[in-house]
Every structure is written in C-alpha cells, then in structure tokens.
Copies of this chain bind each other. A is one copy, B any other.
Amino acid sequence: MPSYKAPLEDVGFLLDDVFQFDRYNNLPGFADASADVREAVLGEAAKLSENVLQPLNRIGDLEGCKRNADGTVTTPKGFKEAYKQVAEGGWLGLSAPAEFGGQGLPVTLSQMVAEFQCSANMAFSMYSGLTMGATAALMVHGRPEQKAIFLPKMVAGEWTGTMNLTEPQCGTDLGLLRTKAVKQGDGSYKLSGTKIFISAGDHDLADNIIHLVLARIEGAPAGIKGVSLFVVPKILVNADGSLGERNGVTCGSLEHKMGIHGNATCVMNYDDATGWLIGEENKGMQGMFVMMNEARLGVAVQGLAQSEVAYQNAVAYARERLQGRALTGAKATDKPADPIIVHPDVRRTLLTIRAFNEAARAMVVWTALKSDVAHRSEDAKERQAADDHMGLMTPVLKGVLTDVGFANTVLAQQMFGGHGYIAEWGMEQFVRDARIAMIYEGANGIQALDLVGRKLPRDGGRAAMAFFGEVGAFAKQHAADEAMKPYLAPLSVALGHLQQATMWLMQNAMAKPDNAGAGATDYMQLFGLTAFGYMWARMAKVAQDKIASSGATSYLTTKLVTGRFFMERMLPETSVHLARIQSGAATMMELPAEAF
C-alpha cells in the first residue's frame, strides 16, 4: 500500500526563503499568515492528508461511486466522514473572504494545501476543488443576494459546487451547446438539457449542490455569444435560507472511467430546472473564465501532486527492493543483493521526477503569489503585472504540469517492475488518476493554443517580454558568481531558444496561423522548461546563500544536486522543441484527411 508525507520542508523553503512570503505583508491577509501560522496551517493540512485522506485513496478506487435506483449517488465508504472533517476544519474557506465566513488567508497557502490533499487522494480532493472554483465564480460575478444565499454555505463546506459546461456534442467548442434556458415571470429561468462529464455532479457528502451551468437563453445569438451562466441548486433554497423543494436536475448515470473512481462523474439531466442568471445575458463565458482560470491552476497542481506521491513511493521501493548488484561491485555485502537505488538508471529516473516536482512546486508558489497580488494589491501597476503573469503562466502550468506529472507517474510505476502493474501496490492508480488532468479543464492541446494564440500576443506581448526580461536580469545579476555558472549557463541557452521560438512565431504565424498551431505544443513545453530552469536557478542561489550563511544540510545539498541534474539532462530538451517549431506546418498540412 502506498504512503504519503507532505513535503513540508520544501514548501517552507519556497515560501520563506525563495519567495520571501513576509515581503508581501502589506497585502490583506498576509500579515495574518505569519511564519508561525503558516507552519501550523500546513502542519495540520499535512496530518489531515496523510492520516485521513490517503488511507481512503485505494478504497475510493476499488469501490467507486454508486448511483442508486432513486438517482442519488453514494460515495465510497469513509468519504462522507472525511469530507465532514475537511468542512469542519475550515479548509474550504482558508482563503475565502471573512464576510462569507472564510479566513481570508493568501491563495498561495490554499494551493499548498490543495497539493497535499490531491497527493493523498485526488478523487476526494476534487469535491473541494470544484466547490472552491464555483465559489470563486459566484464571488466575482454573482449578485449580492446570490452571494448571500450560496457563499456562506459553500465556504463552510456544507454545500458543494460544480461546473456544467460539456455536452455530448461539445467540449472545447462551447458555442455548440444546446441546453436552453427560458425566462420566467419572476426573473428566474427554466433550464433543460443534458450535460456530461460533470465531476461531483451528485453525491452524498453535502446537503446541497450548487451547479453553475452554461445554457442558451431562448432567442439568444448562435455560437459562443449566445451563452449565459446560471446558478442551479440541486435543492431550491427558501427565502430564509432553509432547504426547500427538489429542483429539476438529476444524475442520469455515472460514467465508467479509467480512474478517479472515488469522484462521481455524472451525466446531469436538466428538466425545467429552476436557475438564476449570473452576470449578464449572453456573457456567460466571462463568469466561466474566472472559474476556469482558478480550476486550471488547480488541475496543474493535480499533475504535480500525483507526480510527488508517485515519486515518494518509488523512492521507498528503490531503497528496499533487493535485486542484482551495483555495476561497480556489491554495496550491501551483508544482503543477498543490493537495493536497486544503487543503479544509475534508477537514480536517473527518480531524479527526473524529483527535478520536475520541485521546479513545478516553485512555479505554483510563484504564480499563486501573483494571484494574491493581482487580487489584493492596491497598486494598479503591480496588479496588472501580476495579472499578466497569471494569464501567461496558467496555460503553461496546466499543460506542462499535467503532461509531465502524468509521465512521471508512469516512470515511478516502472521502478516497481511487475509489481507496478498490480493494483494492490497502488502505483497504477496514480497513473490512471493522473491521466485525466491532461484532458479536463481544456485538453492540453487547447492550453497550447491559448498560450500561442491568445496569451503570447496579448498587449503586444507584454507578459512574455516581462518574463524574458526578468530571467535575463537574474542571469546578468549573478553572472560573476562562479558557483552559479552550472545553473546560469544552461538557463541562458534555454532562454535564447525560447526567444528564438517566439521570434519565429511572430514572423511566421501571423500570415500562416497553421504555423502557430503546428508549434503550439512544443512552444508550451519549451516555455515550461525555461520557466523551470529559472526556478532552479533561483532555488540554487538561495540554497547556496543559506549554506554560506548557516551551513549545509542534507536538504540544501540535495537541492543543489537535483538542480544540476535538471540543467544537465532536462533543460537541453529546449533545442528539440525549437527545431520542431521552426519546421513549421507545411508537412503536416500537406495530406488530405482521407490519407491519415
């Protein structure tokens, strides 16, 4: 059975040392998150994840969710009690505003908690994750009375939330959606239609479920410009806040999926269900985008989280499994064979995962801090710069952290040999669970197109230029530092590749947009690698400074070695991505569809 320990030391290093959390004390909520508070909060989150959520992970996979004859859905054994603990612990409201019962702490902290919970139990953590996404959308676009009715209950974890976008004929292309909404005399709407792939669509964890639903108001324009957003509670809420009648929305069936069996993925049938408009008519995508950005960062964290827990278990196995002898002669001479961690190929595999995990976690902290700045700073220029960063990095994080996170679960499984293929060992569940993260909240090909087609050119490329400038300035600042050379030299090469690729796209994709499409995925990966390289260089600098000031620790030494591994073995991939981008679209567009 797999186990899990929250990476508290690494999170502490990132928050305290690399990103100097206390520098942000001028922002609302940050002063409340002093080092002591952070340690207490993260320590409690770790315990909850390790002791309550992780032991339910395999049970959730084995049992799955069940739809009962009356259309209700039962979650796996233990989920209900665990969810109660999560709600009562206030974990859903960690960074929600105090006016709705939240604790108002920085989003950066709740992202760290989300990583722990997802490492422990991805399927379970989605119930909270979706609730927080729906909460965010209501917070921004809901009317005051909607906020008053729904938010306190959702922040308290008494009610959960969902996002209802996909229909059988449309996923990526929401302009094709057909669910219709008919306005009623009292200002409400009646919704009818079928939504599919609705995570946490129905379950027994909460008293009510608040669905956010995209639908088309009768007579609305065709396409995406005729799509509106509605809030549709599973159970109607009376004026006094008590629960009233059952609304016309039901789970028609549960999907049979590759993984995340503990989460109920529902076909939702809307049959004259009563809903209320959120925001303006036909502008539903605005509200949805708030939820999607929040959700995309959350999905990126899922990729990291599964990679982290898979890594931990692969390391434990590699230390224990005795098989063969080291190439340089027996090491554990008192044993019948050496532990397989003596083998370079095993270490290569483990460090490949670890070097990603630590850089990805740094990226998440960096970007979550920008999210806090974007929402909490009083300085408009600072807010804009932070928002630029978020817009640019969201597709990179979602695409790269889930692609690589999944690949890493496969690598970790491989360390177990045949045992990795056997369910009881738990490694194959990480692979099956992690797989969905590459698909939902916008498949990764869509993330790449969002990056290249929308985020990169926005405002004349301002966000990308700021990133290039920051990385370049860091490299220049430390150019004379001999100890930083092994990190900065490869970083500069990677940055050069990214800049060349950006230039190539500017020169070749305006007139021929297929060149942007053909290079999009490679550009996203090139961008991610370069950003990882920058994270590693920053972490290395801080680790070196700490060692100089207060001496070496195993953690800091390992950090420096892992960073060098990244620079030597992983960052050089940027050259291939550049070559691919520069090869353009001509060859792949040459064939007629029938020829494939």
Please name all residues of chain B whose beta carbon is closer than 8 Å to the beta carbon of A585 when the two chains form the complex. Answer: 344
A540 within 8 A of B: no
- How far in angstroms is the closest Cβ of chain B from A418? 5
Cα-based distance from A414 to B447 in the complex (angstroms): 13
Query: Beta-carbon contacts of A300-342 to B below 8 Å, as 1s and 0s?
Result: 0000000000000001001100111001100000001101011
The answer to whether B424 touches A256, judged by C-beta atoms less than 8 angstroms apart, is: yes
The answer to whether A323 touches B173, judged by C-beta atoms less than 8 angstroms apart, is: yes
Residue of B nearest to A257 (CB): B421
Interface centre among A439, A516, A588, by most chain B C-beta atoms within 10 angstroms, is: A588
Residue of B nearest to A427 (CB): B258
The answer to whether B445 touches A345, judged by C-beta atoms less than 8 angstroms apart, is: yes
In A367-419, which residues have CB < 8 Å from any B CB?
406, 410, 413-414, 417-418
A343 within 8 A of B: yes
- How far in angstroms is the closest Cβ of chain B from A304? 18
The answer to whether A323 touches B170, judged by C-beta atoms less than 8 angstroms apart, is: yes
Cα-based distance from A105 to B257 in the complex (angstroms): 43
A19 within 8 A of B: no
Please name all residues of chain B whose beta carbon is closer than 8 Å to the beta carbon of A453 when the two chains form the complex. Answer: 327
Residue in B315, B343, B422, B569 whose CB lies within 8 Å of A596: B315
Copies of this protein in the complex: 2
Cα-based distance from A324 to B197 in the complex (angstroms): 19
The answer to whether B516 touches A445, judged by C-beta atoms less than 8 angstroms apart, is: no
- A420-B439, A594-B554, A596-B318 in contact; A344/B414 too (CB < 8 A)? no
A423 within 8 A of B: yes
Cα-based distance from A115 to B20 in the complex (angstroms): 57
Cα-based distance from A350 to B587 in the complex (angstroms): 13
In A122-171, which residues have CB < 8 Å from any B CB?
166, 169-171
Please name all residues of chain B whose beta carbon is closer than 8 Å to the beta carbon of A573 when the two chains form the complex. Answer: 576
Cα-based distance from A517 to B421 in the complex (angstroms): 24
The answer to whether B422 touches A328, judged by C-beta atoms less than 8 angstroms apart, is: no
Residue of B nearest to A555 (CB): B595
Cα-based distance from A545 to B494 in the complex (angstroms): 42
User: Secondary structure at chain A's binding surface: helix, strand, loop or mixed?
Assistant: helix
Query: Beta-carbon contacts of A196-237 to B below 8 Å, as 1s and 0s?
Result: 110000000000000000000000000000000000000000
Please name all residues of chain B whose beta carbon is closer than 8 Å to the beta carbon of A580 when the two chains form the complex. Answer: 568-569, 572
- A443-B414, A572-B576 in contact; A591/B558 too (CB < 8 A)? yes
The answer to whether B323 touches A516, judged by C-beta atoms less than 8 angstroms apart, is: no
In A469-528, which residues have CB < 8 Å from any B CB?
512-518, 520-521
The answer to whether B196 touches A418, judged by C-beta atoms less than 8 angstroms apart, is: yes
- A421-B435, A439-B417, A585-B344 in contact; A595/B327 too (CB < 8 A)? no
A52 within 8 A of B: no
Cα-based distance from A107 to B60 in the complex (angstroms): 47
Please name all residues of chain B whose beta carbon is closer than 8 Å to the beta carbon of A347 when the two chains form the complex. Answer: 588-589, 591, 596
In A32-71, which residues have CB < 8 Å from any B CB?
none
The answer to whether B428 touches A440, judged by C-beta atoms less than 8 angstroms apart, is: no
Residue in B197, B520, B554 whose CB lies within 8 Å of A418: B197
Please name all residues of chain B whose beta carbon is closer than 8 Å to the beta carbon of A348 when the two chains form the complex. Answer: 518, 521, 588
A583 within 8 A of B: yes
Cα-based distance from A516 to B328 in the complex (angstroms): 11
Please name all residues of chain B whose beta carbon is closer than 8 Å to the beta carbon of A259 when the two chains form the complex. Answer: 421
- A521-B345, A575-B575 in contact; A414/B445 too (CB < 8 A)? yes
A579 within 8 A of B: yes
The answer to whether B420 touches A343, judged by C-beta atoms less than 8 angstroms apart, is: no
A1 within 8 A of B: no
What are 18 sample pairs from A and B whose C-beta atoms fall under 8 A apart? A171-B323, A173-B323, A255-B422, A256-B422, A258-B431, A327-B513, A341-B593, A347-B588, A347-B591, A347-B596, A420-B439, A554-B595, A557-B595, A558-B591, A561-B587, A561-B590, A568-B580, A573-B576
Q: Give me 9 other A-B pairs in contact (C-beta within 8 A), A342-B593, A347-B588 excluded.
A: A176-B322, A176-B337, A344-B585, A345-B449, A350-B596, A421-B435, A431-B435, A558-B591, A572-B576
